[in-house]
Each structure stands twice: as structure tokens, then as C-alpha cells.
Amino acid sequence: MFFALAIAFVSSPLLAQFEAQMAQFCEGPTEGDATGILVVAENAPSGEWEVFRVGVGVIGGPFENGEYVQFSGVPLGSFLQVRDAANESELAVFINLPTPDNTFISQFPVTNACQERECNVRDYFDLVEQEFAGGFSASNEGGILFADLSLPHNASFNALIFGNFTNTSGGGSVHGRMAVEGNFTSGSGFTIGEGNPSVIGSLNSRMASDNLIVGGNLDFSGGMRGNVLFNTATSLPGFISVGSASGIYRNISPDVDWTAARNYFEVISTSLAPSNIVNSCVGANTGLVNVIDANNIELDAENQSGIVVFELSSVGAAQSFDFINTSNADAIIVNVGGSTVVFTAGSIALDGTTISPPYTGSKQDFIEKTLWNFYEATEFNLDGYGIMGSVLAPFTTDVEFIGGDIVGQGIFSGNVTKSGGFDFLNFCFNGDLDICELEEADLPEVDLAVSKTIDISEPFEGDTIVFTVTAQNLSNEEDGESVQVLDQLPSGYTFISATPSVGTYDEISGIWDIGLLEAEGEATLEIE
């Protein structure tokens, strides 16, 4: 449950910089095809801007400041300018290029740049399809943008984290897309959106799409293919891949109901758990688990079709798994019990052969129909291990990745810490769960109110003032769970301290994490 409290201050900058952002996206399968262009510009002196192709003329405009515009069929090697619609000598500066200039060169210098993969628009993991996120539109700029402005907007991510993500050291990557509810912190060496098609078979994510979404604060000096949608930022990544113009910066709070989305995945995980799957997926088949020894487990689908379910009481260190006779299955669910999960010093095999890159053919088929469901896990540790398939672990509180891979999609909660060369590879869960009736998330109807006061109504420069934010649960029966309030200090003020009556306050992101707010309860936050 998330509430944003905004206070507007009117300012009148004398010389706001006329700036633009432009990102390419592939319109064909090869590097020689023409390219699509996504453009947005701000602060055109006349209030309107246009796009000019050198040697050709104006190819579009006039457009209003802040308007997103798309062009198709722009030839490679074109020189493009964004200029004021009333005064063509006023040229915008591109702020998403490594060397800001007023001329943009469209090119595809990277081999396999247009080999891309996107997870299905209408799948279980798509937050827009499941109505937990809005799609981008002119009236909803915080919605998820997926390259082509006319398409249904896809919010299916390879890494979805309901908490904070911190990369403490090492390289690594998310070959696909990533969404983080809280803060994202990483130095250089870590990349998002760029795959390795020729060696691994993990394709790139789509350019000009929102491939990194951060609900809290972004502090990232690595590389990025695709757009960055973020609430606040300490540092921004550089763009990589096509001409270093594969995406744009979008500084607006993401239109995502994180609490409802997390609840949705918790319900799916619980519905698929051993005690419930017989009723939620009527007709699912049970696979045979053969414990060869403490470190080697064989999982036999017995050539069954439909959904095949395996049950493991736990996963421990140095365990290896060999899946056999799985080709007829439409989906494979591996239910794993236990509060602590440890993947280290083992491997996953298919019909007796360890699964290794490139992940194509029968290996890709297995990966994309397999879902590991950790329905009890609160602690998740992966050290140098490759998990083949997608991971559903929505109840975690502490997650640690030290090298290794998740070859598929991953959903986690809590604080996620990464070190070493860990990767999320760009593969999608496409298993057929149509026979399952997964219960909808049942969120209580809670009536919350937020107000804000200031102790000095007309402060002077140098005065110390105190803002008091009050959150109230007006319901007389329903408690509010996972309550958060967004309240950022207005520009021009210097943060000194924050004193919440309950929960914690992050002065960088402006998020006051209250947690539980009982029926008819009240919480206060004083910001000095």
C-alpha cells in the first residue's frame, strides 16, 4: 500500500537548457534494417520542437515540450537534430549520450544488436496484464513504456525484487529487464539489458523499453541497454549497445502497485505449494523423485504430459539434480520446502547431461517451461550455481547471490545482495498453467489518509523548520499492511534528521516505510 504526498513549489528558471533524448529500437531482425526512433524534448524556447534530418529536412513536428514521439524507417547513418520549431538555430543538447551534442548519428555497430527477446506480453509475470502497473501513455508518463508507443506495454521482468538490490562487488548482469521496488545500488561493471546471443543464447532486451525500473533511489554507474524509469537518483548509468543510444532517462515515480503485486505472487506460490496444488491445478501429474545419495537427486517426469510436479523437502549445499523424461511436459513445477535455501557446488542436468550454454533446442525448451517454487523460503543463498528455469520466491527476507546464474525469471522479496559475476539470463517462463485456478490476491479495503504540516509558516533563509507528516488508518476493522508514504524534502531545503514514530525513513528516496498500521491507528514522521 503506497501513498505519494506531493507539494508543488513554483519556480521560474531564467535559462532552462533545451535538451532532448533519443533512443533507437530495432524494426528488423538484422543490423542492416532501418531503425525506429523514440524522441522526447524539454524546454524548447518557443514551447514546441521538431526533428530535422540533415540533408533531407524536417521529418516531424511541431511537438510540445515533454511529448514522446516515435519515428519508423529512419535509415542507418542518418544525422538527426532536435530543434526549436519556431527558430531552427536553437538546437537541443542530447543528455543521454556519452558526449552531449546537438547531432545524433544512427548506427548499429554491435554484432547481434537486434537479436532480442521479450517475455510474453500476456503472461503470469506481466504486471501490466495483471493490472498491478500502468502502461505508458500521454496521461500516464509513469506507466511502463515498451518501445513502440502503439503496442500493449509489457511489464514482464527477468528480475523482479520487492525490496532493495545492492551489488557490493564484481561484474555480472541482467540480460533482460529488472524492476526493484526499493533502492538500486551498484558500481561499474554491472550491466542491464544486454545479452550474449552468440555464445549463451541469452538474447538482448528490447531497446527504447523501460528495462530498469526503480521505485526508490537509483545509484548506478554501470551500463544500461534500454530506458531507466526511476523515482530519485544519486548517479545514472551510461547507455550501451547501439551507438550508446539504446535508451532514455525517465525521472518519474513508476506507476506500480508494489504491495498488490507482491501479494499476487505470494498467492501464486501458496496455490502451487504441495498442500494446495491438488485443488488449484486439478489434473496435474506427480513426478518421481529418486534420491541417489545425499548429493544427487533424479527427477523423473515419466514422459507425462500436462503439468508435472516434483516435491523436494529442501535444497542444500552440493546437491545436483538430473531431470529425465521431461520432453512431453507442458510445464514443470519444482516445489521446494524449507525456510533456508542453499545452492552451491552442484549442477542441473537434463537426461544425464549437465545443462550448459548455448541454451538452445531441448535445453531452452526445458528452461522455459520449468518453475522452481520456494513457497516457504525466507533466506536464499546462491553461490556459483546455475539454476535452470524460473524462480518464484516471494516470501524471502534476505537473498545473497555470489556468482552463478538464474537462467530464467526470478521473483524475490527483501534485501537482495549480489557479489561476484552473478547473472540473470534472458529466458522466460512459458509453461502452460491454464488448468490451474490460482486464487486472486485478496487485499483488505483500508481507508488511509495522509496530511502534512510545518511548524514555521513563513520561514527565512537559515531557519530550522520541522515538517510533520501524519498517516492515519480511518478503517475501524481492517489493518493496513506494508504501508509506505512517499514524502521527499522540497528543493532548497537541507535534510538534518528524521524521527518516525514507527518504521524507517530513507531521506534519499523519500520513502517512509511504516509497515503495519492498525485499524484506527496513527503514525507520525517529523523531518527536520
Looking at residue 2, its pLDDT comes to 44
The sheet with strand 93-94 has its strands ordered as: 68-74, 35-42, 19-26, 93-94
For residue 11, the model assigns a pLDDT of 36
Integer angstrom CA distances of residue 218 from 163, 184, 224, 251, 482: 13, 5, 13, 10, 21
What does the pLDDT read at residue 4? 42
Buried b (16+ CB within 10 A) or exposed e, 489-522: eeeeeeeeebebebbebbebbbbbbbeebeeebe
The grid coordinates of residue 518 equal 492498525
The pLDDT assigned to 445 comes to 59
Rounded distance, CA 236 to CA 219, Å? 6
Instruction: Give residue for cell 564484481.
Output: 170
Pairing of strands 511-517, 480-486: antiparallel
d(CA 365, CA 327): 8
Omega cis (within 30) before 358:
yes
Q: Whole-angstrom Cα distance, residue 431 to residue 439?
A: 18
- Give the closest residue to 468 by CA, choosing from 521, 512, 404, 423: 512
Q: What are phi and psi of 341, to 5 degrees?
A: -115, 130
The pLDDT value recorded for residue 29 is 62
- So what's the architecture of 448-527 in CATH? Sandwich (2.60)
pLDDT of residue 5: 41
The three-class DSSP label of residue 409 is: coil
How many whole angstroms separate alpha carbon 346 and alpha carbon 330?
Answer: 26
Cis amide leading into 62 (omega within 30): yes
Over its length of 528 residues, how does the chain's per-residue pLDDT go in tens digits? 444 443 333 333 446 899 999 998 887 666 656 688 899 999 999 999 999 999 999 999 999 999 999 998 888 778 889 999 999 999 999 998 777 777 776 665 556 778 888 887 557 889 998 889 999 998 999 999 987 787 777 889 999 999 999 999 888 999 999 999 999 999 999 999 988 888 898 998 998 999 999 999 999 999 999 999 999 999 999 988 766 788 999 999 999 999 999 999 999 999 999 999 999 999 999 999 999 999 999 999 999 999 999 999 999 888 999 999 999 999 999 999 999 999 998 999 999 999 999 999 999 999 999 999 999 999 999 999 999 999 999 999 999 999 999 999 999 999 999 998 899 999 999 999 988 887 654 445 567 777 778 887 677 777 788 888 888 887 877 788 778 787 766 656 788 888 999 888 877 667 888 888 888 889 998 888
Please give the Cα distance from 509 to 504 (Å, whole number). Answer: 12
Q: How far is Cα 363 from Cα 34, in angstroms, rounded to an integer? A: 33
CATH 2.60.40.1170 domain locations along the chain: 448-527
Decide: 51 and 60 in contact? Cβ < 8 Å.
yes
> N- to C-terminal Cα distance for the chain?
25
